[in-house]
């Protein structure tokens, strides 16, 4: 899957350099990667928050970082571009 994401990003980069719009089928892989990032980071942030409440410890920085990453993943889902890695720019 990693190699297919790289190929997809290279194709997006080539199309942008040529001034052509990125076709919807080429945005699919970026959206899938963004959804995975959103689910993984968002779920991890929730687990950290639950663990922090349960144990009374402060894990706010880690949860905040993961929430920001989840937000970037969600933005990547909506835009269809590799925002976090910058591969589709």
pLDDT tens-digit map of 9-68: 787 778 778 877 777 776 788 888 889 999 999 999 999 888 888 887 777 788 888 999
Helix-, strand-, coil-residue percentages of the chain, each rounded to 5: 75, 0, 25
CA 57, 64, 87 angle in degrees (round to 5)?
140
**pLDDT on residue 71:** 92
Three-state DSSP class for 88?
coil
Q: Euclidean distance between the first and final Cα of the chain, in Å?
A: 20
pTM: 0.66
Give the residue among 87, 44, 89, 85 at the shortest CA–CA distance from 66.
Answer: 44
């Amino acid at each position: 899957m990693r190699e297919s994401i790289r190929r997809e990003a290279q194709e997006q980069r080539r199309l942008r350099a040529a001034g052509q719009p990125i076709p919807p089928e080429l945005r699919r892989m970026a959206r899938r990667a963004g959804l995975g990032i959103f689910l993984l980071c968002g779920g991890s942030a929730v687990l950290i928050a639950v663990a922090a409440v349960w144990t009374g410890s402060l894990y706010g920085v880690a949860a905040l970082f993961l929430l920001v990453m989840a937000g970037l993943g969600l933005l990547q889902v909506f835009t269809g571009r590799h925002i976090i890695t910058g591969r589709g720019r």
